[in-house]
Structure 1
Amino acid sequence: MLQVEKLRKVYGQNMQYEALKGIDLTVKDGEFVGIMGPSGSGKSTFLNLIATIDQPTSGKILLNGKNPNELDQEKIAQFRRTQLGFVFQAFNLLPTLTVEENIVLPLTLDGEKVAVMKKKVRDIAPRLGIEGLLNKRIAEISGGQAQRVAVARAMVHQPELLLADEPTGNLDTKSSKDVMGLLRQLNEEEQATILLVTHDPLAASYCQRIVFIKDGELVHDVRRQGTQKEFYEEILVDLARIEGVDNEF
């Protein structure tokens, strides 16, 4: 579904910094994959390249066999709106719009019919537990509810790939568990393909698979075998080893 081949990203001209050093990664249709690693490891750069927000220095990103970076700017923007869904730490919702208007924003930009948009909202809002919030403004709802709205907006056009960048970063523990449970539910029930960047081992434990990036290289890849608790503990051990913490005790 997603094929990343020898992906490199170099910033700067005279003083060059190699943020990604030739990453290879395959994500199958319906997988829920977490990306973890130390600060500055290249996690967000990697996600931005897949999101077509940034361009790779070399290498390929193929989504269902197609390379979006070969498109012109107008078609890349359309690709982003129709093929990808985005969930951010800061929600990125528009405060002047209602919850419903925020959810259908990608469809509005594509000129979808109002009746179609209304139906899609009726379908998705109950699944995310936000059907009672549709007429409220963003300032009137909680952070956890706002992130649910952001997930609804990301999924309303049924994207090929959902990209989530630290989606629990601004949430308390209960809201974090709610949002991660929701993403897992979308993955299991809707077969949504999800790529999640997180520094939080608990959030990561909701994934099926974790890839670890360090110094711009993919250094470890682990799949969940047992319970979520066992996976959480395995992630903690792997993080300590990759960050070098286990050598200090």
Structure 2
Amino acid sequence: MLEINNVTKTFGTGDSLFQALKGVSLSVKEGEFVGIMGPSGSGKSTLLNLIGTIDHPSSGTVTIDGERASNLNQEDLAKFRRNQLGFVFQGFNLMPTLTVAENIVLPLTLDGEKVSVMTKKLNDISEVLGIESLLNKRISNISGGQAQRVAIARSMIHEPKLLLADEPTGNLDTKSSKDVMRLLSELNTSLNSTILMVTHDAFAASYCQRIVFIKDGELSDEIIRHSSQSEFYDDILFSLKQLEGEADDF
């Protein structure tokens, strides 16, 4: 599904050059739920931006479902991003002037989809996510946890090949965080959705099947879940301590 080959990313010019990524290579299979963790400034968000085609690598390649985004022109790239990728952000990025339903179908609206098709997909995804009762409400009238569910619905309504989540629980309380992570896990299991999530939260990461650790722009370690979620959580904490000495820094 995703193949990252020897990717580098350099910012700045002349004496102010900063290499954010240093030859990163990573493969993600279809249906995997993979977490990316590391200290602040380690390159997590830079890597996610490259995968999401928001930015381009300085060298190396990013291939998603056989397609290299760097080979596409701006129009085709925008279409590829809308059709093949789903995005879930910490800040929700919802349109406050629109209803929940209007926010969810926005990707389909931009593609000029038929109303009948949009209605069916809206009903299907809202039922899966348990937000049918919210469809006619404004974003300002729902809770943070509900808003993140709406954001997930919007990201999934066009059935993307790859869902990218950037700190999806960062603005949520403990209960809402658990609800959102359970939801992402269920989407991964029931719909075979491929999910790549950047997080600093070890508990959120424990819902993943595999964790990749990045430090100073390089992949430093990887652990795979072989047992219970609680045991995997302990494994993640141990790996974080090994990486930086203190898991609290993440």
What range describes the TM-score normalised by the shorter chain of this pair?
Answer: over 0.9
The superposition leaves residues 189-219 of structure 1 with CA deviations (integer Å, 9 ceiling, x where unpaired) of 0000000000000000000000000000000
How far residue 64 of structure 1 moved from its aligned partner, in angstroms, is: 1.5
Query: Which amino acid is the alignment partner of residue 12 of structure 1?
Result: G
Report the alpha carbon displacement of residue 244 of structure 1 after superposing the two structures with TM: 2.8
In the aligned structure 2, how far is the partner of 1:10 from the partner of 1:68?
18
Q: Distance in 1 between matches of 2:244 and 2:114?
A: 50
Shift of 1:55: 0.8
- Which amino acid in 2 is paired with 1:53? I
Matching residue of 2:27: 26
SS of 1:199's partner is: coil
Matched residue, 1:97: 98
d(CA) in 2 for partners of 1:23, 1:57 = 12
TM-score between both structures, scaled by the size of structure 1: 0.98
Q: Deviations over 1:64-101 (max 9, x none)?
A: 22101110011111000000000000000000000000
Tell me the distance in 2 between the aligned counterparts of 1:243 and 1:16.
25
Aligned partner of 2:66 in structure 1 is: 65
Measured in 2, the distance between the counterparts of 1:29 and 1:159 equals 12
Residue of structure 2 in register with 1:187 after alignment: 188
- Cα deviation digits, residues 11-43 of structure 1 (max 9, x gap): 001110000000010000000000000000000
Q: How does 1:72-221 map to 2 (within 5 A)?
A: 72-221=73-222
Cα distance in 1 for partners of 2:126, 2:146 equals 11
How far apart in 2 are the matches of 1:166 and 1:245?
Answer: 20
Partner residue in 1 for 2:238: 237
Shift of 1:126: 1.1
By how many angstroms is 1:48 displaced? 0.2
Task: Quote the offset at 1:245 in angstroms.
Answer: 3.3
What is the identity, as a one-letter code, of the residue corresponding to 1:230?
A: E
The unaligned stretches of length 5 or more in structure 1 are: none
Alignment of 1:8 with 2:8, yes or no, is yes
Specify the code of the residue in structure 2 equivalent to 1:192. Answer: S
SS in 2 for 1:48: helix
- 1:7 partner letter: V
- Give, in whole Å, the separation in 1 of the partners of 2:70 and 2:191: 28
Deviations 1:90-146 (A, max 9, x none): 000000000000000000000001110000011110110100000000000000000
Partner of 1:44: 45
C-alpha separation in 1, matches of 2:63 and 2:45: 18
Query: What amino acid does structure 2 have at the position aligned with 1:138?
Result: I
Q: Which runs of 5+ in 2 are unaligned?
A: none
- In 1, Cα distance between equivalents of 2:61 and 2:83: 20
